[in-house]
A and B are shown apart, each in its own frame.
Chain A
Amino acid sequence: MKKNKTMIVTFLAPAVIMFAIIFIYPIIRTVAMSFFKIEGVTDPVSKWEFSGFANYIKLFNTQLFRISMWNIFRIWLLGGIIVMALALLFAVILTSGIRFKSTFRAIIYMPNVVSAVALATMWLQYVFSPKFGLFKSIGDFLHWEWLSKFQWLNPDHLFLALLVAYCFGMVGYHMLIFASGIERISTDYFEAATLDGANKIQQFRYITLPLLKGVLKTNITMWSVSSAGFFLWSQLFSMVVSNTQTITPVVYMYQNIFGAGNSMTERNSGIGAAVGVLLSICVVIIFVVCNKIFKDDDIEF
């Protein structure tokens, strides 16, 4: 046993040391930084000015930060509902034995392969364009004035535009996870249900959905993680200067650490760290709630 202990320690040590250096140390440092005023992100500790909860108080009193939290919440909730619903729908259709299954799957997954920069440019400069955009052309063709006149990119609708574009890109990824979950379910259940006279919708409601609970939890977790770090799309939808409709906490954090736009603005990495801490707390809350709602799989199949 004693010999084993040495081996356990020897083999665990690398992983533990790496974990401590790469995860524990930055977490502790970030939490500590959030209580200081720090101009440059790599300033030595001797240059830090202790400020207590001032960073947190400033964040809660700043309208722009509150807006960014509201935006990320909207993206998470509305985007989550849209993406999960569409992904599940496509997954069910794809696994229902239609023809050209892999072609459709590839098409729906395609946006994940294309660079986000290219996708966002396509949406911003082409699809949503009020002059020659895809939606405008469709509106003109169908004589739907509400569609051809709709200003997707003005300050009132930019969030909607961002949501549509982002969800378009995310459906394929979550669809694949759902599809693999559905394919794991034995066809015996569906055959038996068909024999018993259950229609497709009933089969979905009473067989597919309950057995997909674990997969749904995985999907929501993945979605929450990617939403919390929402940065690139926000940047791409408001080039150079950020926008009230698209700013997210991570963008706000970036501005406080590296400065905003082309202007020389005040920098404080302490505020950036505080944003990080608050975001982490939000993510933990979401996970706890998710775990409460979707208790561990009690169905074995």
Chain B
Amino acid sequence: MKKKILSALLCVTMVSAMLTGCGSGGDAPAASAPETEKEAAAETPDAETEAPADTAAENEGTASAGGKLVYWSMWDAAEPQAQAIAQSIEAFTAETGIEVDVQFKGRTGIREGLQPALDAGTNIDLFDEDIDRVNTTWGSYLLDLEDLAAANDYEATANAGLMAACREVAGGTLKSIPYQPNVFAYFYNMDIFEEAGVTAVPTTWDEFLDVCQKIKDAGYTPITNDNAYIASMFGYHMSRLIGEPATEEVVKNGDWDNEAVLKTAQAYEELASKGFFSDTIESNQWPAGQNTELAMGSAAMYLNGSWLPNEVKDIAGEDFHWGCFSYPAVEGGVDGTEASNYGAQVFAINAKSTNAEQAFQLITYLTKGEADKLLSDMSVGIPADSNNAEWPALLSNVKPVMESLSTRYPWGAGAEANADMTPIIVENFTKLCGGSLDAQGFVDALKAAGN
């Protein structure tokens, strides 16, 4: 009998041990967590029950050590951004004595894991991601930073436009701090422009057609793109015609009868019929177009973000001269070259963080002075500190474009606002650019998709 009681006890021990070990079991509810874990949770109010076991162990350790900041980063540890940040954090700790537990989660890691972790009460003080995702998707988890920013006089050397953008997406108050600004515009090969005799960047659609013709005559492919970004051309043209909010409405509500859709399609049909697109545009699966055509010097222009020169720098080489211009204005359109998708990665502080001041101190450290410059240099990115006036050489021509912008489009200028339509727009727009579909065919295909 004793043996049986013993074995029953052992069984219970084993089960509780297994449950503790498997605390990360995906959907396991917090309520079912066994005693051992509850005790741990009681010690540290923020300890989680659902996040991966390894972070659980770390966080419990950090909380008891006291005061160590936990930073979930969107970068992968191997990326230059992560290396620059890690280097600066080391300097920050040396300077202030504040220890930081930085966890490089990567894009998907943050996107899939942050909200569940925050819901489970994981001890995360600060995190970063794209300006729109942080402020909209995770908006309810953010600490309002107005007071901290004012107390530290943060905005004295911050980019005013981006700070305004942060307030705009957060509904009028400051909940995030921008860094690594980016702008989405036409990036081009200046040497090809020069060779083709183009002296000024196009600001209107007619000038754009003219530039394309000259480049084609000089023996180069005027425009290339990849599946990943091609819908932006549709979004930009639509937004030039009727503005971004209206474009977003069209895309979300399937209002394909709106005459701007056909006008946009006709403009691209003309580009296609004149042979201004790469021969292989329909087959360009990212990053084929940006790597093998633009960076290799056979194509001249690519509508993309200011991260492009960094992404292709090993292929393009150091002597590649990057030019940049905002999407041209179209006749009778609402928006001009002053409107574009620009933004930044942003830092935000967890509303439940008990170390908000230290977290803000770290954010200030990373987005200003030496650390900001280091990040800018290592990642060929735009600096966030307005005192860091010198941009990386590859991006020197992006600066005037960035400074000329006053209207902000969200990603893709609204073209990708409806997830159920994006692949269908991409497919048909790609065919339009490749010449296998005409303007009316494009509109008809989109209309058919609504049924």
Residues of A participating in the B interface, judged by any CB pair closer than 8 Å: 3, 6-7, 10-11, 13-14, 17-18, 21-22, 25-26, 29, 40-44, 62-65, 67, 124-125, 128-132, 151-156, 158, 237-245, 247, 255-256, 258-267
Evaluate contact between A11 and B27: CB separation under 8 angstroms. no
Once bound together, how far apart are the Cα atoms of A26 and B442, in whole Å? 43
Chain B residues near A154 (CB, 8 Å)?
A: 282-283, 430, 434, 436
* 10 closest A-B pairs by CB: A260-B419, A240-B228, A154-B282, A263-B416, A153-B283, A265-B419, A42-B119, A26-B27, A42-B116, A130-B280
Chain B minimum-CB-distance residue to A40: B115
Most buried by B among A22, A26, A131: A131
Given contacts A63-B424, A264-B410, contact A155 B418 (CB under 8 A): no
Count how many pairs of residues, one from A and one from B, have CB atoms less than 8 Å apart in the complex. 166
Evaluate contact between A247 and B423: CB separation under 8 angstroms. yes
Query: Does B144 have its Cβ within 8 Å of any Cβ on chain A?
Result: no
Once bound together, how far apart are the Cα atoms of A40 and B118, in whole Å? 11
**Which of B6-14, B93-101, B372-380 is the contact stretch?**
B6-14
Given contacts A42-B115, A154-B434, contact A265 B32 (CB under 8 A): no
Evaluate contact between B451 and A63: CB separation under 8 angstroms. yes
Query: Does B253 have its Cβ within 8 Å of any Cβ on chain A?
Result: no
Evaluate contact between B28 and A265: CB separation under 8 angstroms. no
Can you pick out 30 interface pairs between chain A and chain B where the beta carbons lie within 8 Å of each other? A3-B4, A7-B4, A7-B7, A10-B7, A13-B15, A21-B19, A26-B27, A42-B50, A64-B421, A64-B449, A125-B285, A129-B288, A153-B282, A154-B436, A155-B282, A155-B427, A155-B428, A158-B285, A238-B423, A239-B287, A240-B227, A240-B228, A241-B426, A243-B227, A258-B112, A261-B411, A263-B412, A263-B419, A264-B136, A265-B417
In the complex, which of the residues A43, A238, A255, A259 contacts B133, with contact meaning CB atoms closer than 8 Å?
A: A259
Query: Does B214 have its Cβ within 8 Å of any Cβ on chain A?
Result: no
Chain B residues near A25 (CB, 8 Å)?
A: 27-29
Query: Does B245 have its Cβ within 8 Å of any Cβ on chain A?
Result: no
The secondary-structure label for the interface of chain B is: helix
Given contacts A239-B286, A263-B412, contact A14 B280 (CB under 8 A): no
Q: Give, as a whole number of angstroms, the nearest-CB distance from B352 to chain A.
A: 15
Evaluate contact between B227 and A241: CB separation under 8 angstroms. yes
Once bound together, how far apart are the Cα atoms of A29 and B25, in whole Å? 14
Q: Give, as a whole number of angstroms, the nearest-CB distance from B132 to chain A.
A: 5
Once bound together, how far apart are the Cα atoms of A10 and B288, in whole Å? 60
Given contacts A124-B285, A155-B282, contact A238 B227 (CB under 8 A): yes
Evaluate contact between B285 and A239: CB separation under 8 angstroms. yes
Chain A residues near B434 (CB, 8 Å)?
A: 154
Chain B minimum-CB-distance residue to A266: B419
In the complex, which of the residues B18, B22, B137, B416 contacts A262, with contact meaning CB atoms closer than 8 Å?
A: B416
Once bound together, how far apart are the Cα atoms of A25 and B26, in whole Å? 11
Once bound together, how far apart are the Cα atoms of A9 and B282, in whole Å? 63
Once bound together, how far apart are the Cα atoms of A239 and B410, in whole Å? 20
Task: A63-B420, A63-B449 are known; give 16 further A-B pairs, CB within 8 A.
Answer: A7-B4, A13-B15, A14-B14, A18-B15, A21-B28, A63-B450, A64-B420, A151-B280, A238-B285, A239-B285, A239-B286, A245-B427, A259-B133, A260-B422, A261-B422, A267-B137
Q: Which of B123-142 contact A (CB under 8 A)?
A: 130, 132-133, 136-137
In the complex, which of the residues B8, B28, B116, B421 contacts A41, with contact meaning CB atoms closer than 8 Å?
A: B116
Evaluate contact between A237 and B285: CB separation under 8 angstroms. yes
Once bound together, how far apart are the Cα atoms of A11 and B28, in whole Å? 22
Chain A minimum-CB-distance residue to B291: A125
Once bound together, how far apart are the Cα atoms of A152 and B288, in whole Å? 13
The secondary-structure label for the interface of chain A is: loop
Given contacts A40-B119, A62-B420, A247-B423, contact A241 B228 (CB under 8 A): yes
Most buried by B among A65, A158, A247, A265: A265
Chain A residues near B8 (CB, 8 Å)?
A: 6, 10
Once bound together, how far apart are the Cα atoms of A198 and B218, in whole Å? 70
Once bound together, how far apart are the Cα atoms of A129 and B293, in whole Å? 12
Chain A residues near B29 (CB, 8 Å)?
A: 25
Q: Give, as a whole number of angstroms, the nearest-CB distance from B252 to chain A.
A: 9
Chain B minimum-CB-distance residue to A3: B4
Query: Does B346 have its Cβ within 8 Å of any Cβ on chain A?
Result: no
Chain B residues near A259 (CB, 8 Å)?
A: 111, 133, 137, 419
Q: Which of B400-451 contact A (CB under 8 A)?
A: 410-412, 416-424, 426-428, 430-431, 434, 436, 449-451
Chain B minimum-CB-distance residue to A152: B283
Once bound together, how far apart are the Cα atoms of A26 and B26, in whole Å? 9
Once bound together, how far apart are the Cα atoms of A259 and B451, in whole Å? 23
Q: Give, as a whole number of angstroms, the nearest-CB distance from A58 to chain B.
A: 9
Given contacts A11-B11, A29-B27, A41-B115, contact A256 B419 (CB under 8 A): yes
Chain B minimum-CB-distance residue to A265: B419
Chain A residues near B267 (CB, 8 Å)?
A: none
Chain B residues near A13 (CB, 8 Å)?
A: 11, 15
Most buried by A among B120, B279, B280, B450: B280
Chain B residues near A153 (CB, 8 Å)?
A: 282-285, 288
Chain B residues near A238 (CB, 8 Å)?
A: 227, 285, 423
Query: Does B231 have its Cβ within 8 Å of any Cβ on chain A?
Result: yes
Query: Does B292 have its Cβ within 8 Å of any Cβ on chain A?
Result: yes
Given contacts A25-B29, A125-B288, contact A264 B133 (CB under 8 A): yes
In the complex, which of the residues B25, B50, B130, B428 contacts A21, with contact meaning CB atoms closer than 8 Å?
A: B25
Q: Give, as a whole number of angstroms, the nearest-CB distance from A247 to chain B.
A: 6
Once bound together, how far apart are the Cα atoms of A174 and B429, in whole Å? 39
Evaluate contact between B283 and A14: CB separation under 8 angstroms. no
Q: Give, as a whole number of angstroms, the nearest-CB distance from A16 to chain B.
A: 10
Chain A residues near B287 (CB, 8 Å)?
A: 125, 239
Q: Give, as a whole number of angstroms, the nearest-CB distance from B295 to chain A.
A: 13
